[in-house]
Structure 1
Amino acid sequence: MEDFDVFTNEIEFTKPFYANVLNKYVKDIPSTPNGPNYQSDRKLYAEECLGESNEADCAFYLSESVSASLRTLAVYRDEQLRTTGDKIQKITNYVKPIQDLIESQPISNQISKNEEKILDFISSEAKQTADILRKFKTDDDLPFYMRYMRFSSENKTENFLKILKELPKEWTIIQLTAPYNPNENLKPLNEYRCEIDSIYLSMFTNDYLDFNSVGPLTVEIPANIIKEGEQPLFTELYSLLEENYKTIDNAQFLNNKRLVQNYWSKREDIDLRMKSVINVMDKEWLGGWTSLLTGKLQDETLRDKVIKLVDATISDWGFIKLTTKQKNLLYNLIDSCHSLPSQQIKSCIRRILTEHGNTSDIRKVIATIECQNCDKEFRFLKELCLKCLSKCFEAIHHFTLVDGIKAFSQAATQVKENDEWAALKKAKRYPVILIIDEMLDTFPWEMLSILNHQPVSRMENIHFTYLLYKIHEKDFIDGYFAAKSNVGRYIINPEKNLERMEKRMASFVQYWCSNWTGHIGEPPSPEDFLRYLSESDIFLYCGHGDGCRLAGCGGGAGVESVPVHGLALLSGCGSVRLARPPGRAPPAAAHHHLHVAASPMVVGMLWEVTDLEVDKVVSTLLSLYVPSKAQLPWQCIGKAAWSKGRLDTNVEQKTPFVPERDLLRAVSRSRAASSFTMIASSLVARGLPIRICDD
């Protein structure tokens, strides 16, 4: 500090010091910015970085552009809990920014005349300010994973890359982001949410990404594909979800045979429409780019074999100037080509070879080409026509684009058809964590054919992924949270208006989870509800919605006041759906509050569902995941009178029962318990990979 008397230990605050205080607040406010505006701003930064082929910065800004308001909620709740009953802690939170400035030297004694009056006003209370500050010690004891949650100078590319290296090496972390749309500021949500025409797919960690040579990679993929006579994909999805809600909501008024038949006809029609949406996503939207969504191979020799094959193709054909990004995209494509039709593979190869090459090399070539359709001052290679891209490829690699596509198509055919690659088709993979933009969260990504049988989970952003991992780090083994199943709690039909569901699920837990306790046919007190959450290894809620209202606070905020260390399974309609209030207010959901409370995993439903089908899925999930002393596997039990609460155990076990202690794999398998796509696709897991460790 400038004027500091070591003998009197008094601080004289100079005008440059106060100028620094003012400048800090001008530059740093708001410390918790408006979420939607912040997200839009980060997306624009990311687009600029992608145009400059700055992959690391692009991935960082995209990571900042999702679920920003949830970070504010987490910070706010953390400060509330830490300062409850501790006024000193609360005051130090306010004086910390000033304390930081006191510890730094003013750069200069010179200030502008325009600052004189306001600085004189502030400086007049310098002695009083110094006396107050000396009373408080403002040591910053927050761990890095909490500091990164805040909006500060610590949110930067270097720290983002550091976090990715700290997370378990078994994970594949993919983010799907909708581009910035200025109409978000002008139109209501129902309109602008259907205007997405592309998505950014960012590989934060991946089987073929070597952080010593290349960091995260991002590709832009066309979306909302429209065929003649069809609705845009987004419009169709929201339309069928609205129809699904109305159909289920009106089911209570069915009082004759004709209405019942009409109900089932509508349900079948909605189911077919959802199958069509998934089909369009899979084949016409993402296509070959679904190869970037696959998890890391547990058998590393298979990974090395894929790399060797692609590298041999590059060497044999003389691809002398393929970029590192192109190689990584090709590794992933060949790795998953056995799940893709040949046309998708060829289309993806073409785009990899032309739209992801070295921009500088292509600019040199394009400057010599006369084309009325292409702008020589392009930002992205996708803006160039195929003819120009083909000429650029030939000039750079000295053979035609057709030959280039042929080279890697032959490698893909070898993997698809040769017996020596058969192991790759059935190879086990580690978990995939999908970070999904709030604008894209409604889509059933887990139902894509390439992901349907893989362990897949969703997370809000990299900040919460890192936070939950660090909180539970001591309990992680080989990339999985080592969960327990000793303590189970349940709440079934608290509103007393789902009688048949109550009988079904009560009979299930009493048979399969006989040592669990809870409430059936009655609401628990808020104290009991919170106690169930905090003490259980597995918490089951069967009723309307997500059940968090039972905590006694609006919007589910009450659950944040207790630590949650186990799995929460919420089987009500839309229990993990993002609910959007009017305007540009950020969406909210039960899993947000549970993750703030440190729950490592929440499983629930994306939209409205019917109780019988959900009961089948949830009971199957728990029977696969939770160890039991029941005499027969749940799949063998006779269920003809299940809706009356009666189970038939006098049956013969015809097929062997294979349990699944990996929750994400159990979720994948349990979807098959319902014959309705709308029910199966509604089930999603939100959180970190967890697995019960058998004794």
Structure 2
Amino acid sequence: MEDFDIFTDEINFMKPVYTNILHDFVKDVPATPSSANYQSAQRLLAEECLLENKEECEFHFSESVSAAVRSLAVYREDQHEITGADKIKLIAPFTNICDRVETKSLDKEDDLLNTILSEGVKTLKLRSNEEIPFHKKYMRFGPHNNVKNLLKILNELPKEWTIVQLTARYNPKENVKPFSEYRTDIDGIFLSILTNNYTDKPLTVLVPANVTKEGELPLFKELYSILEDNYNIIDKAQYLNNKRLIRNYWSRREDIDLRIKSVINVMDKDWLGGWCSMLTGKLSDSKLRDRIIHFVDSAISDWGFIKLTAKQKILLYNLMDCSPVLQSQQIKSCIRQILTENGNNEELRNVRNSIKCQSCSNEFRFPNELCIKCLSQCFEEIHKFTLVDGIKAFSQVALKFKDDDQWADLKKAKRGPVIIIVDEMLDTFPWESLPALNQQPISRIENIHFLYSLFKTHEESIKNGYFVTKSEIGRYVINPGQDLQRMQLRMESFIKYWCGKWEGRVAEPPAPGELLNYLTEADIFLYCGHGDGCGSVCVGSGIGAGAGRCVCLLSGCGSVRLSGGEGRAPPAGPHHHLHVAKCPCVVGMLWEVTDLEVDKVVSTLVALSVASEAPLDWRHVGKTKWSQGEIDVSVEQKPRTPPERNLLRAICRAKQATNFLMISTSIVARGLPIKIIDSNPPNSSV
């Protein structure tokens, strides 16, 4: 803290005191910091940098998510390096015991202890930080986590990727209360583009959240209310014993579906709106991208917007790129925010000081705290142009992209994969189900550190932005708890029909060590049962060996859900352990689901992405008695469904196998984008 005279009321300092404290905290961060405190400090620093338009902004945001998982990865890495007597390595990086032992005479016991420890430490051959591969070093906490290295990482990652981070605003309650007590108290999120089709530098915008309409719960409270009701409905389904209760069950399921649909509509129309454009993938056709830039630049020149910043132009490029799938009102609202809230903040503050307004303060932090009247007057003063005309100018450009025949290809243009880094506070939302995104290849990841680590681990297998794998070696575990009989019959009959060469366990848990072998030797691992099915192995030390190479498909309730620990313990999920073990991708469910509908989605997903020698397309197989373990292949031959070896796109298509929105919105992918190549069997559906 700054020094000051306690006998006066004058405090002289160059920067706000709390900013200096934050910088000192981050600079002096220990090797294993408290994840909650570390994340809060980084988020606050990021906000300050955004206010001051500093390039460190996105770096601090990148450090503010899933810090505890990094500690887990480092711990497991150290465990893996240690064998037998070398376990003293665990304490060596955190102590300098030899240097601290005084040379004065010691009693016999202390002298013996000193000898043992000294000899042990002296014989260690610890790798220095310089010798550790950079992707492992960056996972650790220290001065090497900086803006320069973040940009280095982003330049190394595949150019096909669009990487976006969603971060909740800082909330003081997170430092003193359990997650469950503040998880709905969010008033805004930061959208940070790390890599994108239109910029070579990261940028961030602030989007207000928790939009509330009269008579409705705030968005975050409504989502958690839906999930609680969904859990209760499914949990009590086993006790239904008459027709009236069964009818009531289906009625409540339909009501839950309507409510989740309403949440998605609010996210789409009233919350994100046109900012969905920041979550869309890169156009595969670079010529189409260049045409969009030229068209927007021409409009800027024609209308005379000479004071638009580089950030505003990039945001407009993205908005116009996505305009064919957005509604006109979403586009206009986003244009207004781009023009008034994402320009030169210093210039905005200077102009705002000359405007008198009863409802706004000159001491605002972010422009969205000002009323529309103030923003409009500031815009007109800066650009010598009315805000209405500005919105009209770019709305006309968007209309060209939406309706002009020469831009017809834009709506159906192929795009690269999107990887979203989602703050734990925001992870429960079904981002992939937003209308503008529901056909895009999207995957989630814990943070940029894990993304970079998985990329470097599997770099040789990544082609054109996708981890390329086969499906020849498949392993599965079906109904190990022996209490989902109909699910067992359905999925066992499907596996035998479509993936006959796969091996696994049915109606029994794997033998000790067997599940670990599945995860390390298979191309694809499928689990069908309660929960994630990997808990015992994930928590054990074996999974930390880092040998995982398989794509994991976990179809149980909440199999990739983040669950909060006691007190201030950070949320965690099984996919964390699987990513620590270097499994490239984990597909699973965000919340409770029912077996029949999930079986439809998962079997469709596998049938789309895995080549098969089966004589008949899975889509056309007779399934009248599927719940009895019987499938009918004596049906009319129809054209085969086009396969989809891009796993993320296959997930989009597989969601259509169920009519329940709570089921289709639950399935998400976490990790690297995946492509499953064919082995060209005789009757392959290629």
Q: Same fold (TM over 0.5)?
A: yes
Query: 3-state SS of the aligned residue for 2:426?
Result: coil
Shift of 1:390: 1.8
1:264 aligns with 2:250: yes
Distance 1:608 1:595, change over 3 A: same
Shift of 1:96: 8.6
Distance 1:315 1:562, change over 3 A: closer
Of stretches 517-526 and 68-77 in structure 1, the one that deviates more from structure 2 is 517-526
Amino acid paired to 1:62? F
Amino acid paired to 2:580? V
Distance in 2 between residues matched to 1:375 and 1:418, nearest whole Å = 44
Partner of 2:557: 573
**Does the 8 A contact of 1:526 with 1:550 survive in 2?**
no
TM-score, normalised by the number of residues in structure 1 = 0.89
Partner of 2:43: 43
Amino acid paired to 2:64? S
Which of 172, 192, 208 is equivalent to 1:202? 192
1:688 aligns with 2:646: no
Partner of 2:637: 653
Distance 1:420 1:98, change over 3 A: farther
**Does the 8 A contact of 1:492 with 1:521 survive in 2?**
yes
Distance in 1 between residues matched to 2:451 and 2:474, nearest whole Å = 25
Shift of 1:277: 0.8
**Does the 8 A contact of 1:530 with 1:562 survive in 2?**
no
Query: 3-state SS of the aligned residue for 1:526?
Result: coil
Shift of 1:379: 2.7
Which of 593, 596, 603 is equivalent to 1:612? 596
Shift of 1:25: 13
Distance in 1 between residues matched to 2:25 and 2:122, nearest whole Å = 22
1:189 aligns with 2:179: yes
Which of 514, 520, 532 is equivalent to 1:546? 532
Distance 1:637 1:550, change over 3 A: farther
1:534 aligns with 2:533: no
Which of 364, 374, 377 is equivalent to 2:360? 374
Partner of 1:67: 66
Partner of 1:16: none
Amino acid paired to 1:599? C
Shift of 1:53: 1.2
Structure 2 gaps of 5+ residues are 1-23, 680-686
Distance in 1 between residues matched to 2:305 and 2:105, nearest whole Å = 71
Partner of 1:309: 295
Query: 3-state SS of the aligned residue for 1:201?
Result: strand
1:227-285: CA deviations, max 9, x gaps? 00000111111111111111111111111111111111111111111111111111111
**Does the 8 A contact of 1:275 with 1:677 survive in 2?**
yes
1:443 aligns with 2:429: yes
1:56-87: CA deviations, max 9, x gaps? 31111111111000000000011011012251
Taking only the aligned residue pairs, the percentage that are identical comes to 60
Shift of 1:191: 2.9
Partner of 2:499: 513
Distance in 2 between residues matched to 1:96 and 1:186, nearest whole Å = 30
Amino acid paired to 2:461? D
Distance 1:44 1:25, change over 3 A: closer
Distance in 2 between residues matched to 1:123 and 1:148, nearest whole Å = 37
Structure 1 gaps of 5+ residues are 1-23, 103-118
Query: 3-state SS of the aligned residue for 1:523?
Result: coil
1:471-524: CA deviations, max 9, x gaps? 000111000111111100111111111111111000000000000011111111
Shift of 1:556: 6.2
Distance 1:25 1:40, change over 3 A: closer
Shift of 1:88: 7.8
Distance in 1 between residues matched to 2:578 and 2:49, nearest whole Å = 34
Of stretches 394-403 and 66-75 in structure 1, the one that deviates more from structure 2 is 394-403
Distance 1:357 1:511, change over 3 A: same
**Does the 8 A contact of 1:548 with 1:556 survive in 2?**
no
1:403 aligns with 2:403: no
1:171 aligns with 2:171: no
Which of 442, 449, 463 is equivalent to 1:477? 463
**Does the 8 A contact of 2:77 with 2:544 survive in 1?**
no
TM-score, normalised by the number of residues in structure 2 = 0.90
Partner of 1:32: 32
Shift of 1:366: 2.5
**Does the 8 A contact of 2:601 with 2:655 survive in 1?**
yes
**Does the 8 A contact of 2:417 with 2:442 survive in 1?**
yes
**Does the 8 A contact of 2:44 with 2:170 survive in 1?**
yes
Query: 3-state SS of the aligned residue for 1:439?
Result: helix
Query: 3-state SS of the aligned residue for 1:75?
Result: helix
Partner of 2:265: 279
1:376-433: CA deviations, max 9, x gaps? 3433222333222222222222221111111101100111110000000100110000
Query: 3-state SS of the aligned residue for 1:94?
Result: helix
Distance 1:27 1:395, change over 3 A: closer
Query: 3-state SS of the aligned residue for 1:231?
Result: coil
**Does the 8 A contact of 1:556 with 1:590 survive in 2?**
no
**Does the 8 A contact of 2:77 with 2:545 survive in 1?**
no
Distance in 2 between residues matched to 1:259 and 1:622, nearest whole Å = 34
Distance 1:567 1:135, change over 3 A: closer
Distance in 2 between residues matched to 1:179 and 1:150, nearest whole Å = 24
Partner of 1:644: 628
Counterparts of residues 336-375 of structure 1 (less than 5 Å): 336-375=322-361
Distance 1:188 1:314, change over 3 A: same
**Does the 8 A contact of 2:37 with 2:175 survive in 1?**
no
Distance in 2 between residues matched to 1:634 and 1:370, nearest whole Å = 68
Distance in 2 between residues matched to 1:191 and 1:25, nearest whole Å = 26
Distance 1:206 1:86, change over 3 A: farther
Shift of 1:461: 0.4
Distance 1:295 1:29, change over 3 A: closer
Partner of 1:84: 83
Of stretches 520-529 and 678-687 in structure 1, the one that deviates more from structure 2 is 520-529
Which of 231, 234, 249 is equivalent to 2:220? 234
Distance in 1 between residues matched to 2:25 and 2:461, nearest whole Å = 40
**Does the 8 A contact of 1:556 with 1:593 survive in 2?**
no
1:6-47: CA deviations, max 9, x gaps? xxxxxxxxxxxxxxxxxx999846311111111111111011
Query: 3-state SS of the aligned residue for 1:569?
Result: strand
Distance in 2 between residues matched to 1:576 and 1:135, nearest whole Å = 42
1:291 aligns with 2:281: no
Distance 1:451 1:621, change over 3 A: same
Partner of 2:544: 560
Distance in 2 between residues matched to 1:291 and 1:74, nearest whole Å = 33
Distance in 2 between residues matched to 1:486 and 1:495, nearest whole Å = 27
Distance 1:350 1:94, change over 3 A: closer
C-alpha RMSD of the superposition = 2.4
